[in-house]
């Protein structure tokens, strides 16, 4: 009856989970990703703009007022389009690689921890906390940067913009690498491609605005941007670590502690078990779009249970239901009832459950 589903399968089959991930990727791109990538890849974009600026200077369209030229918009757009295409392809490649690796919930939890450490390290690097954190940045070999630089000089402006946009794939920023890890963890080429597309699309407005108005961005503003990016990375790393804990079924994740605080103040009458036979007890859990209800189920110890997970027109990641302690995972129907056999547990056992993304959690306490 118990089955272990690779998490990649769960992730692919829940449309709601995918949509949530895409929104997260898009917003990450729009906020921290855009700024962080601009710091690393801004030089390439500047190179792609160089020939257009030279042309504008020759034509006299850039004056002493330093207003951005409308002609600058085209190379920026070409650069960003090429970047979007190449990163989407990279996402597909990483997703395909993840599919071959068959990432289990435990493996994804470990990946979440790695991502969390990576993001935290990058944030501390940006805040100049200690030189050791510089090792969290990816430093492309001099041969690659030399190649990019020389290519940018030798091509016409439109081709240069497209080419350099494509070459950004060789120098991904820290946040991009995080999304690349998520694409790998998705274990599906389409999901991986969609994740990278959403993220890169999110970074595009930031790139566009910052490069278009680059002449007006002072050093003070840059300093604040770095701090904002660092703060956002710290927050994201905490969330990533928490997701990892949820996927491992830990009771001490922030999400679960918050749930416990909330449920402690509410009477949860709906979670009382219904006895259906001498040896079996039936528990009912509702999987909703915004999580599981009730979040805490109380059940009798030393008794085999049937857990009924009920869905009604649910499209969120709560459909990808996991009980890490039992190595159990299932994709729930959008509307339906899934029965899960739970073997007898000793008194005091706590069995956490979660969605595949570690966002929605709950637990069964064997204390009756």
Quick one: 46 or 330, whose CB is closer to other proteins?
Answer: 46
Shortest Cβ 135–other proteins spacing (Å): 6
Shortest Cβ 366–other proteins spacing (Å): 51
Among 20, 81, 137, 338, binds other proteins (CB under 8 A): 137
Q: Which of the 8 DSSP states describes residue 33?
A: I
Burial class (CB in 10 A: 0-12, 13-18, 19+), 269: exposed
Tell me which residues in 306-335 interact with other proteins (CB under 8 A): none
Tell me which residues in 169-188 interact with other proteins (CB under 8 A): 171
227 forms part of the interface with other proteins (CB under 8 A) = no
Shortest Cβ 43–other proteins spacing (Å): 5
- Considering only the stretches 144-152, 256-264, 299-307, 350-358, report the one whose residues sit in contact with other proteins under the rule CB under 8 A: 144-152
- Considering only the stretches 149-157, 248-256, 267-275, 347-355, report the one whose residues sit in contact with other proteins under the rule CB under 8 A: 149-157
140 forms part of the interface with other proteins (CB under 8 A) = yes
Shortest Cβ 13–other proteins spacing (Å): 38
Q: Which of the 8 DSSP states describes residue 332?
A: P
CA 1 to chain centre: 32
What distance in Å separates the CA atoms of residue 328 and residue 158, rounded to the nearest whole number?
A: 53
Residue recorded with tokens 């990892």: 244
Residue-by-residue DSSP string for 99-152: HHHT--HHHHHHHHHHHHHHHHHHHHHHTT--GGGGGGS----HHHHHHHHHHH
Question: Of the candidates 3, 4, 12, 9, which has an alpha carbon nearest to the alpha carbon of residue 193?
Answer: 12
- Considering only the stretches 69-77, 131-139, 161-169, 243-251, report the one whose residues sit in contact with other proteins under the rule CB under 8 A: 131-139
Quick one: 35 or 305, whose CB is closer to other proteins?
Answer: 35
Cα–Cα distances in angstroms (integers) from residue 237 to residues 36, 120, 199, 224, in the given order: 15, 6, 17, 20
What distance in Å separates the CA atoms of residue 44 and residue 67, rounded to the nearest whole number?
A: 21
40 forms part of the interface with other proteins (CB under 8 A) = yes
213 forms part of the interface with other proteins (CB under 8 A) = no
- Considering only the stretches 6-14, 135-143, 181-189, 275-283, report the one whose residues sit in contact with other proteins under the rule CB under 8 A: 135-143
- Considering only the stretches 142-150, 160-168, 339-347, 353-361, report the one whose residues sit in contact with other proteins under the rule CB under 8 A: 142-150
Shortest Cβ 226–other proteins spacing (Å): 8
> Residues 6 or more apart from 171 whose CB is under 8 A from it?
40, 41, 44, 138, 140, 144, 145, 148
Among 15, 57, 59, 134, binds other proteins (CB under 8 A): 134
Shortest Cβ 133–other proteins spacing (Å): 10
- Considering only the stretches 1-9, 132-140, 175-183, 352-360, report the one whose residues sit in contact with other proteins under the rule CB under 8 A: 132-140
- Helices in 3-33 by DSSP H: which ranges? 7-13, 15-28
- Helices in the chain by DSSP H: which ranges? 7-13, 15-28, 34-59, 73-101, 105-126, 142-154, 157-167, 174-186, 189-212, 219-247, 254-264
Number of residues this chain uses to bind other proteins (CB under 8 A): 19
Query: Which residues are near other proteins by CB under 8 A?
Result: 39-43, 131, 134-135, 137-140, 142, 145-146, 149-150, 153, 171
């Amino acid at each position: 009856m118990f089955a272990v589903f690779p998490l990649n399968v769960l992730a692919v089959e829940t449309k709601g989970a995918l949509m949530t991930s895409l929104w997260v990727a898009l917003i990450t791109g729009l906020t921290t990703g855009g700024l962080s990538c601009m710091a690393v890849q801004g030089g390439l974009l500047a190179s792609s703009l160089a020939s257009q600026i030279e042309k504008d200077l020759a034509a006299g369209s850039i004056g002493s007022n330093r207003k951005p030229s409308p002609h600058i918009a085209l190379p920026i757009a070409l650069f960003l389009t090429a970047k979007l295409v190449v990163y989407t392809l990279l996402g597909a490649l990483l997703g395909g690689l993840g599919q071959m690796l068959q990432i289990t919930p435990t493996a994804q939890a470990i990946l979440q921890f790695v991502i969390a450490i990576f993001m935290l390290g990058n944030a501390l690097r940006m805040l100049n906390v200690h030189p050791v954190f510089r090792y969290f940045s990816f430093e492309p070999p001099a041969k690659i940067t030399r190649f990019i630089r020389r290519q940018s000089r030798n091509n016409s402006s439109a081709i240069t913009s497209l080419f350099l946009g494509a070459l950004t794939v060789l120098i991904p920023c820290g946040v991009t690498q995080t999304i690349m890890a998520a694409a790998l963890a998705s274990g599906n080429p389409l999901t991986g491609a969609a994740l990278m597309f959403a993220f890169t699309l999110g970074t595009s407005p930031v790139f566009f605005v910052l490069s278009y108005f680059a002449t007006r961005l002072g050093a003070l503003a840059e300093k604040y941007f770095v701090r904002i990016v660092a703060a956002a990375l710290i927050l994201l790393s905490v969330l990533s670590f928490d997701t990892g804990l949820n996927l491992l079924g830990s009771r001490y994740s922030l999400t679960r502690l918050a749930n416990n605080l909330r449920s402690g103040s509410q009477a949860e009458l709906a979670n009382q078990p219904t006895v259906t036979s001498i040896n079996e007890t039936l528990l009912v859990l509702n999987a909703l779009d915004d999580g599981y209800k009730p979040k805490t189920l109380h059940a009798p110890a030393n008794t085999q249970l049937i857990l009924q997970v009920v869905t009604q027109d649910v499209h969120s990641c709560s459909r990808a239901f996991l009980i890490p302690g039992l190595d159990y995972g299932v994709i729930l129907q959008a509307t339906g009832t899934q029965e899960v056999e739970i073997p007898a547990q000793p008194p005091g056992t706590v069995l956490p459950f979660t969605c595949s993304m570690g966002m929605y959690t709950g637990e069964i306490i064997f204390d009756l």
